[in-house]
């Protein structure tokens, strides 16, 4: 069961999507199972309501991995991470927009980028209390309502994204010319990069690469038998080798491998695992 919902009006500047997933009625997968989780360009806040904490692996050869917690912030990333999916999970989460990090967690997005952070380290005891409230909420609809209330309560009365960064994020949907966007901001290149990393967690150039990858990912998922050359050009790559190389860097698999797997969720790619 997966329930996704856009946030209420007060959270829309900071939250892209709220969701609840509950797989606990499903059978445990036979043997260990893993997946690549692909970068989205956004941060994620997740509460695991089932007992299993998140287990991550350093690479494909890592046989044991390491356990994290049940309330986590996934910082914005520029490549995939590898996690265990053997046990059915029950989670409540949010995909966060640039500018949310400092408001919700008290630290710039750049400090949380490229890794997971225990929510206890950011919210203290409030993280455990929030998880308890979500567990007590009952239905998925009610869980999202409680989650929205928890997030709204942490937002200051008057704060927002830096106007130059808000404008840049809008421009980057249609152009990856970072130099042009910086010039239109009125800030020096160095100052703009610092402001952008503070709010988003990535540099503008790397963020634009992730956006281009997202465009390619949507095209691959939508076309069961794509022309890789045409797809690469349509997504903004210089040629097919450039597209293949960057896709593999971000996803850990080639575009053809991704197409053959045909994942149920575009950012979650099941992969083989080393024997234990």
Per-chain mean pLDDT for the chain:
89
Tell whether the model's pLDDT for residue 64 goes beyond 60.
yes
pTM for this one? 0.83
**Closest residue by Cα to residue 201 from 165, 157, 148:** 165
The total of other beta-carbon atoms located within 10 Å of residue 257's CB is 14
Q: Sheet harboring 2-5: ordered strands across?
A: 2-5, 15-22, 90-96, 43-48, 71-74, 116-118
User: Is 74 in contact with 116 (CB distance < 8 Å)?
Assistant: yes
Residue 148's contacts (CB-CB under 8 Å, 6 or more residues apart) are 7, 8, 11, 18
pLDDT tens-digit map of 15-63: 999 999 998 777 777 667 899 999 999 999 999 999 989 999 999 889 8
Structure tokens at 30: 């036979």
């Amino acid at each position: 069961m997966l329930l996704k919902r856009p946030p209420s009006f007060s959270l829309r500047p900071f939250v892209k999507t709220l969701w609840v997933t509950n797989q606990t009625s499903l059978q445990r997968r036979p043997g260990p199972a893993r997946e690549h989780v692909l970068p989205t360009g956004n941060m994620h806040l997740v509460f695991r309501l089932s007992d299993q904490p998140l287990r991550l692996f350093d690479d494909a050869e890592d046989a044991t991995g390491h356990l994290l917690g049940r309330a986590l912030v996934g910082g914005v990333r520029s490549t995939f991470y590898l996690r265990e999916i053997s046990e059915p999970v029950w989670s409540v989460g949010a995909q966060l927009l640039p500018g949310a990090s400092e408001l919700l967690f008290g630290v710039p997005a750049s400090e949380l980028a490229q890794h997971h952070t225990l929510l206890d380290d950011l919210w203290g005891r409030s993280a455990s209390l929030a998880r308890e409230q979500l567990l007590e909420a009952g239905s998925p609809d009610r869980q999202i309502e409680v989650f929205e209330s928890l997030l709204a309560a942490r937002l200051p009365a008057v704060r927002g994204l830096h106007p130059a960064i808000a404008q840049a994020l809008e421009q980057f949907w249609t152009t990856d010319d970072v130099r042009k966007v910086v010039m239109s901001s009125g800030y020096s290149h160095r100052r703009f990069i610092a402001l952008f990393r503070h709010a988003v967690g990535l540099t503008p150039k790397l963020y634009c690469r992730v956006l281009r990858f997202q465009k390619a990912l949507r095209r691959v998922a939508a076309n069961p038998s794509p022309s890789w050359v045409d797809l690469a050009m349509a997504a903004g790559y210089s040629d097919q080798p450039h597209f293949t190389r960057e896709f593999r860097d971000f996803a850990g698999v080639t575009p053809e491998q991704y197409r053959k797997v045909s994942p149920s969720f575009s950012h979650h790619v099941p992969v083989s695992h080393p024997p234990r």
